[in-house]
Amino acid sequence: MKSLALIPTYNEAENIRAIVEAVMAATDGDFHVLVIDDGSPDGTGQIADTLALEFAPRVHVLHREKKMGLGAAYVNGFKWGCARPEYTHFVQMDADFSHHPRYLPKMIEVMKRAPVVIGSRYVQGGGTLNWGIGRKILSRAGSIYSRLILGAPYRDFTAGFMGWEKNAILAMELDTLRSDGYSFQIELKYRAFLKNLTVEEFPIIFEDRKVGQSKMSQRIVIEALKRVWSFRLNRRKFLTNSVEAH
């Protein structure tokens, strides 16, 4: 039984070594990392290759030619992991320390009892550090809005720090996921809800990135919130597909 953390990167040269080292230190030999780099011009992919040699066989790198989006990077990463039977659990995490590796032991523990786990800012004990009031409101409102429209109970609907049992991720029908970034996180959670999977949230403190450039913007968040309606409207299609597929 091994776990694989998927870390998508685009221009994370300032973070990649530190994050991989921190994950290695926080976990044991059964916990591996897959860096999914989109041909970062700043050389992140080359640094990741060095780390793969240094920490072999615990660190792997998937190189994609160019920036093709966070959602697609995760889909590639999940497929890479699902094709390797030793991996039974997967973790999604950012490279910039917002999803701190110190939470991984807790994530692994919760994954033993729940097939889907959310590192959540909006359950008791969770929160955000160094966020302006605008971002706080947008993020909280995004979760409440998604919860109301989709009728699923998750407190942190846009969370990107998640754990998945292999069977749960296979039930997500990755090939039919089309969304990216924030909407990718919402769509995955909604599908877990439609599939009746048990989802457990545990508290994390989400810290804003200290170095490197943000790829997200308020525009992306607002775009995601529009897409929530299409998830809801297409839910029947998704459910029908899933019944046919099983």
Chain positions contacting Mg ion, by CB under 5 A? 94, 96, 98, 209
Site membership for ligand GTP, residue 165 (CB under 6 A)? no
Element (H, E) at 141: helix 133-150
Instruction: Give Cβ neighbours of residue 195 (< 8 Å, ≥ 6 apart).
Output: 168, 171, 172, 242
Site membership for ligand GTP, residue 67 (CB under 6 A)? yes
- Using the rule CB under 6 A, give the single segment among 9-17, 102-110, 118-126, 166-174 that binds ligand GTP: 9-17
Q: Which is nearer to ligand GTP, 107 or 171 (CB)?
A: 107
Out of 70, 91, 116, 186, the residue judged to bind ligand GTP by CB under 6 A: 70
Q: Which is nearer to ligand GTP, 27 or 92 (CB)?
A: 92
How is residue 167 written in tokens?
């069977």
How is residue 209 written in tokens?
């990135």
Site membership for ligand GTP, residue 17 (CB under 6 A)? no
Tell me which residues in 103-162 interact with ligand GTP (CB under 6 A): none
Residues 82-101 vs ligand GTP: string with x where CB under 6 A? ------------xxx-x---
Min dist CB 50 to ligand GTP, Å, is 18
Min dist CB 233 to ligand GTP, Å, is 26
Distance CA 188, CA 168 (A): 10
Cα dihedral across residues 108, 99, 178, 200: positive or negative: positive
First to last CA, the chain: 25
- Using the rule CB under 6 A, give the single segment among 7-15, 82-90, 103-111, 143-151 that binds ligand GTP: 7-15
Distance CA 8, CA 4 (A): 13
Min dist CB 178 to ligand GTP, Å, is 15
Length of the chain: 246
Q: What is the β-pairing status of strands 116-120 and 199-203?
A: parallel
The answer to whether the beta carbons of residues 186 and 146 sit under 8 Å apart is yes
Distance CA 1, CA 166 (A): 11
Site membership for ligand GTP, residue 38 (CB under 6 A)? yes
Residues that bind ligand GTP (CB under 6 A): 8-10, 12, 36-38, 67-70, 73, 94-96, 98, 209, 214-216
